[in-house]
Amino acid sequence: MAVPVFRFAPSPNGPLHLGHALSALTGFDRAQRLGGRFLVRIEDIDVARCREEHIAGIFEDLTWLGIAWEEPVLRQSQHFAVYARAAQWLEAQGLLYPCFASRSEIEVGAAAGAVDPDGAPLYPGLHKGLPRAEIEARMENGERFALRLDMQRALAVARERLKGAPLTFTELDESDRPQAIEAHPELWGDAVILRKDVPASYHLAVVVDDAGQGVTHVARGRDLYQATGLHRLLQVVLGLPEPLYHHHRLLADAEGRKLAKSAGDTGLAELRAAGASAADVRRTLGLGS
C-alpha cells in the first residue's frame, strides 16, 4: 500500500490554541502509527487577516509539541494561480456563475432562518441567471464579484460521474474503522468558489491542495464535518482522489463554548510561557505520550 500522507492545515490569523494541538497531534500520531508522512500547510488565502508572526508562532508551537513535518511547507497564498486554473475549469463546464451581491443583500434576501452549516445566511440565488448583458456591464463597470458553484448542476455532474452511487465520504473512527457517510453538499447552496476579495476560497483551495500534495488522510475538527460533503462534491466534479477523513471532537471552554482563537488562556504559546510541557498538553487532551 502507498505511504499514507497526513496534513495539518492551520490558518495563521491568530495564535494556535488547544483545539489546534488536538488536530495536529491527532494527525501526527496517526501518521507515526501508520508509518506515514506528515505535512503542514499554511492556509493563508485570507491575506488581510493572516500575519507572518502567526506563521512563525505555528512552527514554534508545533516544534514544542514534538511534531516534525516535511519541508518545504506549502503556503496557499503562493498558490492562487493553481486555484484560478481549477476555477477556470469549473467555469468552462458551466458550473460557476458570477455573483455581485453584497453581504447585506444576501442577508436581506435569505429566507428566514435559512443558514449554511457555518451559520451564515444561505445564499438565495440572487444573481443566478443574471442576463449576460448585465453581467458584462457590471464587470465593465469594475464591480467586484465572487464566482459561485451552481449546486444543482454540480450535483447533476456528480450523479453522472458516480453512475447512480451515492456521494459519500469515508470517516475513520478512533480505531481507524471506516464508515461511509452520506455527503450533503446541498446544505451549502451555491457556495462561493472564488471570493470577491481573493481569487480562492477555503473549499476550493483545500481540495486542490489535498489532491496536489497527495494527502490520503485528513484529520480535523467536527466543525468541518459538513464541509467535507462539499469537498467530496468538488473532488468528484474535478476528478480528484478521495482522502479518508477523521473529524475529531471539539474542545469546549469552561462555559461550554467552542474554543476560539481569541480564547487566550488556551493559547499554546501562553501555556508554554506558563511552564506547561508538551506532555501536559497531551494529558489535557487525553492523548497518549
Residues that bind ligand GLU (CB under 6 A): 9-11, 43, 206, 220, 224
- Please, which residue, 105 or 242, has the CB nearer to ligand GLU? 242
- Please, which residue, 13 or 168, has the CB nearer to ligand GLU? 13
* CA–CA dist 181, 169 (Å, integer): 5
First and final C-alpha spacing in the chain: 27
- Give me the least distance between CB of 224 and ligand GLU, in Å please: 6
- Please, which residue, 149 or 224, has the CB nearer to ligand GLU? 224
- Please, which residue, 43 or 150, has the CB nearer to ligand GLU? 43
- Give me the least distance between CB of 229 and ligand GLU, in Å please: 13
- Please, which residue, 127 or 220, has the CB nearer to ligand GLU? 220
- Give me the least distance between CB of 265 and ligand GLU, in Å please: 20
- Give me the least distance between CB of 212 and ligand GLU, in Å please: 14
- Please, which residue, 149 or 206, has the CB nearer to ligand GLU? 206
- Contact between 46 and 286 under an 8 Å Cβ cutoff? The reply is no
- Give me the least distance between CB of 178 and ligand GLU, in Å please: 19
- Please, which residue, 43 or 190, has the CB nearer to ligand GLU? 43
* Residue 170: strand pairing partners: 180
- Give me the least distance between CB of 210 and ligand GLU, in Å please: 8
3-state secondary structure the chain: CCCCEEEECCCCCCCCEHHHHHHHHHHHHHHHHCCCEEEEEECCCCCCCCCHHHHHHHHHHHHHCCCCCCCCCEEHHHCHHHHHHHHHHHHHCCCEEEECCCHHHHHHHCCCCCECCCCCECCCCCCCCCCHHHHHHHHHCCCCCEEEECHHHHHHHHHHHHCCCCCEEEEECCCCCEEEEECCHHHHCCCEEECCCCCCCHHHHHHHHHHHCCCCEEEEEHHHHHHHHHHHHHHHHHCCCCCEEEEECCCECCCCCECCCCCHHHEHHHHHHCCCCHHHHHHHHCCCC
- Give me the least distance between CB of 197 and ligand GLU, in Å please: 17
Sign of CA dihedral 111, 121, 94, 99: positive
- Give me the least distance between CB of 130 and ligand GLU, in Å please: 32
- Please, which residue, 110 or 194, has the CB nearer to ligand GLU? 194
Q: How big is the CA angle at 181 (ends 174 and 217), to the nearest 5 degrees?
A: 50
